[in-house]
Amino acid sequence: MDHFKTILRHHYDRDAADVIPQQGGWSALAYKVISDQHSYFLKVYEKSRASTPKWTALIDKYVPIIQWLSCQTGLQGKLPVPLLTRNAAYKHEDDMGIYQLFEYIEGKTIGSQALSTMQVRQLAEIIAQLHLYGEEVPISTAAIKEDFRIPFAEQFREMLNEDIHRLPDDVSEIVKPFASILATRMNDLEMIAEELRGSEVEMKLCHTDIHNWNLMQSGQQLILIDWEGLKLAPVEADLMFLVDQPFLEEFMATYLKTHTNYVVNRQALKFYQIRRRLEDICELLEQLLFDEQEEEDRVGTIRHLKGELSKVEGD
Ligand SMILES: Nc1ncnc2c1ncn2[C@@H]1O[C@H](COP(=O)(O)OP(=O)(O)O)[C@@H](O)[C@H]1O
Ligand SMILES: [Mg+2]
């Protein structure tokens, strides 16, 4: 922890009495930092993780937008507050990792719990507020603008064609019956993507990773955290996380108070739903093909893969 204390002292001007590991998320390690009378949240993206470049490349682009949203809009108090380094940088970087410091949010992560009606309303208010803002905000959104690319398409096809023979027998048995529908879905997705690229679809700021592990209850307020995925995109990039929820009606009742004329863009919704499904399947196959997994994890991955494959037909 001394390494972190040194970083906090030299780059954030904070004297940390204690740095306590917390349960992290998918992308980074998490620590609670206690410095006289005040707590901070330190997120550490380790350079040893393959996913780190993907999660950190846009920090300098999205953090100023988060700051603007939390100072200039009704989202104040509903987002995490990022803190800058001594040199007013949005992150600190060294050989080991990339660091981001936030105000500590005293509260509880929703996690595996269900949202209460009140929480659904507050979530809908946050998303409705966020969707009021688009390209016109005073900070550049060019780097986070949706381009409807499918970065994993080539790898996906390769896995279905060549790598399928390298899959262990038990996995290949599961995947083979779906090979043709998966190829069809990828073609569908590319067609939809091309149409969306050519259309003048309206784009707003979107969080793009709405789930209960990214929601915290702090006092009376629900807070949406983890803004790594901030995009300028069709609002369906967010609404796709809500359409299958049991509380959709409650959510929309609140959302529509702000966006009275909202009509779902079916094509954009389909794009995000299929893209996410295929991306998940691609990642699961990648794990089974290339990662050295413990038996228990492997069983979990296979179960997850089966579940996703069974839903492809209905997409
Ligand atoms: N500012 C904060 N204060 C306190 N706890 C936080 C804060 N931000 C995140 N957390 C906790 O840390 C966990 C991981 O943070 P998150 O930003 O979602 O990281 P990841 O990108 O790894 O998913 C969250 O689920 C939440 O429990
Ligand atoms: Mg998270």
Task: Give the atom of ligand 1 at the shortest distance from the alpha carbon of 228.
Answer: 21
Q: What is the pLDDT of residue 169?
A: 85
CB neighbourhood size of 309 (10 A): 18
Distance, CA 105 to ligand 2 centroid (Å)?
14
The residues spanned by each domain of the chain are 1-104, 106-315
Give the tokens for residue 262: 């909202």
Distance, CA 224 to ligand 2 centroid (Å)?
10
Q: What is the pLDDT of residues 84-132, one digit of tens each?
A: 999 999 999 999 999 999 999 999 999 999 999 999 999 999 999 999 9
Q: What is the pLDDT of residue 10?
A: 97
pLDDT at 49 over 90: no
Nearest CA to ligand 1 atom 15: 25
Pocket of ligand 1, candidates 216, 218, 221, 224: which has the most ligand atoms within 8 Å of its Cβ, to mutate? 216
63 and 144 Cβ atoms separated by less than 8 Å: no
Nearest CA to ligand 1 atom 11: 24
* pLDDT-based confidence at residue 15 (cuts at 50, 70, 90): very high
Q: What is the pLDDT of residue 36?
A: 83
* pLDDT-based confidence at residue 160 (cuts at 50, 70, 90): confident
What number is the average pLDDT over the span 49-60? 90
Domain range 1-104, CATH architecture: 2-Layer Sandwich (3.30)
Distance, CA 26 to ligand 1 centroid (Å)?
10
Per DSSP, 112 falls in state T
Residue 80 backbone phi and psi in degrees, to 5: -70, 155
pLDDT at 293 over 90: no
98 and 263 Cβ atoms separated by less than 8 Å: no
Q: What is the pLDDT of residue 142?
A: 97
* pLDDT-based confidence at residue 197 (cuts at 50, 70, 90): very high
N-to-C CA span, the chain: 47
Distance, CA 68 to ligand 1 centroid (Å)?
20
* DSSP per-residue string spanning 44-94: EEETTSTTHHHHHTTHHHHHHHHHHHHHHSTTTTSS--EE--TT--S-EE-
Residues with CB under 6 A from ligand 1: 22, 24-28, 30, 41, 80, 102, 104-105, 109, 213-214, 225-226, 228
Arithmetic mean of pLDDT over the chain: 94
Within 8 A by CB and 6+ apart from 211, the residues are 241
**Dist CA 247 CA 266 (whole Å):** 20
- For 106-315, which CATH class? alpha beta
Q: What is the pLDDT of residue 162?
A: 81
- b or e along 154-178 (b: 16 or more beta carbons within 10 Å of the residue's beta carbon)? eebbebbeebbeebeeebeeebeeb
> 36 or 220: which carries more pLDDT confidence?
220
